[in-house]
Chain A
Amino acid sequence: MAEYSALQVIRNALGGNEHWKPLWRKPDPKPAYNVIIVGGGGHGLATAYYLASEHGIANVAVLEKGWLGSGNIGRNTTIVRSNYLLPENAAFYEHSMKMWETLSHELNYNVMFSQRGIINLFHTPAQEDEAARRGNAMLLNGVDARFVRPEELGKRMPALDLAGSSRLPVLGGLEQPRAGTARHDAVAWGYARAADRRGVDIIENCEVTGFIRDGTRVTGVNTTRGDIYARKIGVAVAGSTSRVLAMAGIDALPIESHVLQAFVTESVKPCLDCVVTYGGGHLYISQSDKGGLVFGGDIDGYNSYAQRGNLPIVEDVMSEVVELFPAFAKLRLLRSWGGVMDMSMDGSPIITAGPLPGMYLNAGWCYGGFKATPASGFCFAHTIATDEPHPLNAAFSLDRFYRGYVLDEKGQGATPWKH
């Protein structure tokens, strides 16, 4: 099997690039598998890969209703970080960060993980204390963190307006230097290729339309390409979680679907070397390798499955961009889009066995599940393979809400659109 390398690129180029093989096969579904993963997003594909690579379970199918990576993996703002406050989240996301650091090698696919740092700006003394609280939590949890003072910020981001036009000067920032961005689509493709190579069937254009039940136990799925049986069925469908579980008779979950928009400008030469977030609102910016400035802000704030947003958020986000970077006012918005997010009631994820026998659930990623992809796949595979949560996802249970063990990073309570 041709492995990817610089040498191969040159060899193939000499052959007119005629000999490259498909990244994944296009198999027809088999009647039955050991494990079915519903959802060909980052998490579903990673889960399939780790089932095969960590647990030797290769008789696995990933069922994707559209084209692979058409969900949130294909539309996120690509930020990878582990700067969490709560220890449960910190441990999980830091594990993910470590996996990211070797992911391209592991997959033999360059996912372009660029550890250019993320800086959360703060603007008031109270915010500075909060930043210190978080930064100290990170260091005590073994995560890298440092304070960045305005002088350094000015040097690293010459276009940044430290004074702020309206009463919120930049007092400093909390940086996680190891954080950064990755090429979102490549993560899906890289996992798909690696899983395929280990025997996993990746089946596109195969929508799950129902569950086959034996009593309460889930034993298979109805799909647009026929019924498929499996001993275990993992659901990793992000924004579609409620819709899919409703097919199994679960009519309510601690999840709401909300749309988050993202934006990219026309490309320009490198002008922003790290990821930055604004503390005077809700905004994060980075620059893609192609040169576009990529922004995100608040979710639109109402239940939606529409994958597109509305104008007020567009205005808010652009207002914040030019507040921080008044030099960018003349740059131009090229494209905006939306994704449907699985907002959980405390803003933290769910990776668990259940809620029905034979079923496993991976959901509740809000707007932060891209960075989780490796650890999520790893833990979900563990949970499916062993029927026990991995210590890293033990806290991400479904019953934590009812028991009062919520993991509420933002302290917003059960108002999912505020997380």
Chain B
Amino acid sequence: MAKLTLVEAINLALAHALQNDPDVVLMGEDIGRNGGVFRATAGLQQRFGALRVQDSVLAEGVIAGMAVGMAAQGLKPVAEIQFMGFIYPALDQICNHMARMRNRTRGRITLPIVVRMPHGGGIHAPEHHSESLESLLCHHAGLRVLCPSTPARAYGLLLAAIRNPDPVIFLEPTRLYRLARQEVEDDGVAADLDCCHLLREGQDVTVVCWGAATHDVLQAAHALESESIDCEVIDLSSLSPIDHNSILDSVARTGRLVIVHEAARNCGVGAEIAATVAERGLYHLHAPIRRVTGYDTVMPYFRLEHDYIPSVTRIADGIRETVQA
């Protein structure tokens, strides 16, 4: 079994899907000849040919829109948006068509599409290369939104996304692409959808997070051990639908909730989690819910990006204050 980085695990899942399902077609800017700007598709065009692994023209609207037409014909397009900050030209297609076609046609036309893209900042990239815009997509019914936090989960979730008969947005935390290696078996086993994952059990507080933030949260949780603060850490993993029941169960045990995300706070996914707990789990709360998030500013150019992204210190403070409240 190989020890892989997250981006290698994605490459492995894509290769597995291409190998085992002739309907799978990859498309995106610079994914073929170049193997993707993060090398997520490295080697795949050579192996599967230019019709299965297509270099798209430079137009996100066309990538998403053609995926709709291809999927309606029974192909399973896996489209890459080069960075999440460039998703806007694709939103009309994603929100007005992908998310709606099954509903609009009463199940006549269905769209097994995956739209993959790098998510989040922290890699010293230029403007628009560090966005976390999951909330926009989660607000739209008809889409699933996933965000893995480990290589193995990335492999399993990506296969699940590709096999799912409905459109899935697949967010890949750029900061994690090469951060760590993990054993990943190329067994073709898809992970479960629509559920979150317990990363760490704890008594004192439930911390919900996803993507790159999971690593910072685990560090904070580790640091807080020395203060006898025992954190339960949940990797949301499925950002839409949200596995609220698991979060509520955890909060029922710990009585406290901190949500950590890199995206801007206002109307972020954290708000939805907090609102649901304030609705369905209020009587379990021993302290105010706290969100530790990106600020409601524009993601700054990279010299200040680490002042924007919740740091381990900021996360630890948020947890500590919640436990002490």
To the question of whether A and B form a pair in one complex, the answer is: no
Interface residues of B (CB under 8 A from A): none
Interface residues of A (CB under 8 A from B): none
